[in-house]
Amino acid sequence: MRKIFLFVMSISLLVMSCNDDDNSGPNTRQLTLNISGLTNLGPAAQYEGWVIVNGAPVSTGTFTVNDGGQLSSTSFDVQASDLDNATNFVLTIEPIPDNDEAPSAVHILGGDFSANSADLTISHATALGTGFTGVSGGYILATPTTTDDTDELSGVWFLDNSSGSPAPGLVNLPDLTELTGWNYEGWAVIDGTPVSTGTFNKAAGMDDNATTSSFKGTDGDGPGYPGEDFINNAPAGLTFPTNLQGGAIVVSIEPVPDNDPAPFVLKPLSGDVPTDAQALTFYQLNNIAASTYPTGTATR
């Protein structure tokens, strides 16, 4: 019996020794994020970091952001070998719950590691690929889906009629057709409430509200450009038709899917509607890209 007991003890010590060997040494190291400008995604989504190792993504962990822009976690334990061999860092938006171990298509920030740090921007090739700083354009006020010429200040369309012929109102807007994680969305701020004009992925062509919106009039779908007439079925607290004078017009970049009824943090274009704005007159928007985007660093 004593021999059997000693034999069992020997095997146990051997197993423990092997396990100790497996966990010994500095196998993990911390990745630290210092990011400002991120927004609260609500209960249905979260942020997830990834390092790119030999061309493949390796998750560094998830976090949320509160209404003050504070990250729930800023330091993450990552395998030291993965950090040593990482070439890039990418930040994505992921659903909750998330049953897919791969990154989503919604890449919001990215950066290349230089020594032990990566500067993170939306313009990095692993994120949106552009900073949208060259985008310009504007809109007209009109209601082409009605025959009533007294409600023209109740609609906004991203088209330029200043040459006498309609043309895209948004200039140098990158086509998001192939960037599956993102869409553009137009907004009219009416009595302080942002109301969507619809989502779209390029400056020319109808947006997704062209035939589905319940706001429009009943006399057609409107011109072949993004925009909306606010004629019917006003949201709670608003009355349609309305008057957009003194409000604001915004073009945002939205994640797909998007469950938030308000504009996302990425807003390349915005502008106040003049209080004396006239129908069928082209008004310019301001490029505010540099002031609205999140930025930061990832340090390994």
How large a percentage of the chain has pLDDT more than 90?
83
Domain membership flag for residue 99:
yes
Asked whether residue 163 is assigned to any structural domain, the reply reads yes
Within-domain flag for 186: yes
Rounded to an integer, what distance in angstroms lies between the CA atom of residue 287 and that of residue 136? 6
Domain boundary among 129, 159, 189: 129
Cα 194-37-72 angle, rounded to 5 deg = 110
Residue type, 180: T
- Residue 177, pLDDT score: 82
Asked whether the predicted pLDDT for residue 13 surpasses 60, the reply is no
Q: Do residues 285 and 193 share a domain?
A: yes
> pLDDT tens for residues 281-299?
999 999 999 888 999 999 9
Distance CA 21, CA 23 (A): 6
Q: Are residues 154 and 121 in the same domain?
A: no
User: Which is nearest to 45 in space by CA: 77, 91, 111?
Assistant: 91
What CATH number does the domain containing 89 carry? 2.60.40
Could you tell me the pTM of the whole model?
0.88
Q: Which of 76, 109, 129 is the last residue of a domain?
A: 129
Residue 171 inside a domain? The answer is yes
pLDDT at 259 over 90: no
Q: Is the pLDDT of residue 19 over 80?
A: no
- H or E stretch at 12: helix 2-23
Looking at the structure, do residues 155 and 44 belong to the same domain, yes or no?
A: no
Residue 117, domain extent? 26-129
Asked if residue 21 belongs to a domain, the reply is: no
pLDDT tens for 188-226 read 999 999 999 999 999 999 998 876 678 999 988 789 999
Per the structure, the count of domains in the chain is 2
Burial of residue 169, with CB atoms counted within 10 A of its CB: 0-12 exposed, 13-18 middle, 19 or more buried: buried
Q: Which of 129, 154, 186 is at the close of a domain?
A: 129
Q: Are 172 and 131 in contact (CB under 8 A)?
A: no
pLDDT of residue 212: 67
Give the pLDDT band of residue 26 (cuts 50, 70, 90): low
